[in-house]
Amino acid sequence: MTTQTRFPLAIQGAQPRFHEPVHVGRPNTGDRSTFIAHIEAMLDRKWLTNNGPLVQEFEQRVARDLGVRHCVAMCNGTVALEIAIRALGLTGEVIVPSWTFIATAHALAWQGITPVFADIDPGTHNLSPESVRAAITPSTTGIIAVHTWGRPADIEALSDIAEEHDLQLMFDAAHAYRCTHRGKRIGSFGACEVLSFHATKVFNTLEGGAVVTNDDVLADTMRLMRNFGFAGYDNVIHDGTNGKMVEASAAMGLTNLEALSSFVEANRIRYEIYRDRLADVPGVELVLYDEREENNYHYIVAAVDIPSRVTRDQLIDVLHAENILARKYFWPGCHRMKTYTGTAPTVSLQHTEQVAERNIVLPSGPSLTVDDVHLICDVIAFACERGIEHP
């Protein structure tokens, strides 16, 4: 269904098209009574955190779902990154994309490791292996590649580079739950992969994260590290922090895992509407999912460029005026965030720079109706075809 676009756009003074804002990252929540039953049982048990039964069940279910030996649940994805980085013994310099959420870089810098920013492939938004090669120095100890928007990184090329230069390779898989690479679910590539179960993710535990790995020793180390290094009462055998997932988060996780396939199906339907409706809009190019793989279709990502009659920033203004809260993730790129501008990038980040000026992430997910998606497409088509100056 398409709605006749009316004039003038909200930016020119009319009522916004949406009375209530529509968001990127509206939380997906499964069956309420299941969640509440878990919470009631938790309260009855009076066991709220510290490796409780819900967390243990959650870890087993996630590991089985992803086909990996260990899932070590944590309080959020950022702490999971930090713990994985320490457990792998990374030091000195670690290569990361600049085109990622700031947490990937901060998890290194927070522990005195220098994030060295490498460029991306503009088509996939994933780390460019050539750029990674160019960024290696004698101080490099590892690579953290991101499966950006759920599209798997170039795992084979990066593994070859890591092996050649004796570097650790781990993945930030915050976007990639229930996505596959060559038919195998993301979760068991590299030394380990880090998941985020933040409220805005396809699969949430309120806040939460995990490291998944097939390495038994690494998993044991991370279990110690997330609980202050305790190996039983009064016995600290490792350095550590408080990275534990609470039972209420695991309750949400168990609830949402049951509903995850329905979230993904709702995402797929909305993605296909965007894909079809925006295909002929001038200057708008969607980042497409690879249909040969399993995808979670969570992020709807597009580049806005000539011949669109509006720039990306103008389109954002138009959409926001209509209460459509599209985002510019990950503008301006980590290397342009204040904390990292003191050090000049060591390799060209030209694709990152270009993508950062054009990229837009659009609202999606089960909380949006398909009519909402059509309406958003109407506004985008109108703005890109006609421009904002049109009477």
Q: Where does this chain bind ligand T4K (CB under 6 A)?
A: 23-27, 76-78, 100-101, 103-104, 146, 172, 174-175, 196, 198-200, 209, 325, 329
Pick from 133, 129, 132, 102: which is nearest to 117 by CA?
132
Pick from 352, 364, 301, 282: which is nearest to 97 by CA?
352
Report the nearest approach of ligand T4K to the CB of residue 191 (Å): 17
175 vs 240: CA distance, rounded Å? 26
Task: Tell me the DSSP string of 64-98.
Answer: HHHT-SEEEEES-HHHHHHHHHHHTT--SEEEEES
Report the nearest approach of ligand T4K to the CB of residue 389 (Å): 28
List strand residue ranges (DSSP E) for the chain, in order. Answer: 22-23, 70-74, 93-97, 114-118, 140-146, 168-172, 180-181, 184-185, 193-196, 209-213, 284-286, 300-304, 324-325, 359-362
CB nearer ligand T4K, residue 165 or residue 328: 328
Report the nearest approach of ligand T4K to the CB of residue 79 (Å): 7
Angle between helices 247-278 and 53-66 (to 10 degrees): 30
Query: Number of helices (H) and strands (E), helices first, in the chain?
Result: 11, 14
Report the nearest approach of ligand T4K to the CB of residue 244 (Å): 14
CB nearer ligand T4K, residue 199 or residue 269: 199
Report the nearest approach of ligand T4K to the CB of residue 123 (Å): 18
CB nearer ligand T4K, residue 129 or residue 208: 208
CB nearer ligand T4K, residue 102 or residue 134: 102
Report the nearest approach of ligand T4K to the CB of residue 236 (Å): 26
Report the nearest approach of ligand T4K to the CB of residue 316 (Å): 13
CB nearer ligand T4K, residue 263 or residue 329: 329
- Here the contacts of 133-136 (C-beta below 8 Å, separation 24 or greater) are 133/161, 134/346, 134/347, 135/95, 135/346, 135/347, 136/95, 136/161, 136/165, 136/167
Report the nearest approach of ligand T4K to the CB of residue 256 (Å): 13
Residues 6+ apart with CB under 8 A from 118: 95, 96, 97, 98, 127, 128, 131, 132, 134, 135, 347, 349
Longest dimension (CA), the chain: 74
Report the nearest approach of ligand T4K to the CB of residue 364 (Å): 11
CB nearer ligand T4K, residue 93 or residue 172: 172
List strand residue ranges (DSSP E) for 271-376, in order. Answer: 284-286, 300-304, 324-325, 359-362
CB nearer ligand T4K, residue 25 or residue 152: 25
Report the nearest approach of ligand T4K to the CB of residue 73 (Å): 12
**Cβ distance 167 to 190 under 8 Å?**
no
Closest residue by beta carbon to ligand T4K: 77
CB nearer ligand T4K, residue 140 or residue 204: 204
Residues 6+ apart with CB under 8 A from 311: 304
CB nearer ligand T4K, residue 147 or residue 223: 147
**Cβ distance 52 to 132 under 8 Å?**
no
251 vs 29: CA distance, rounded Å? 11
CB nearer ligand T4K, residue 174 or residue 252: 174
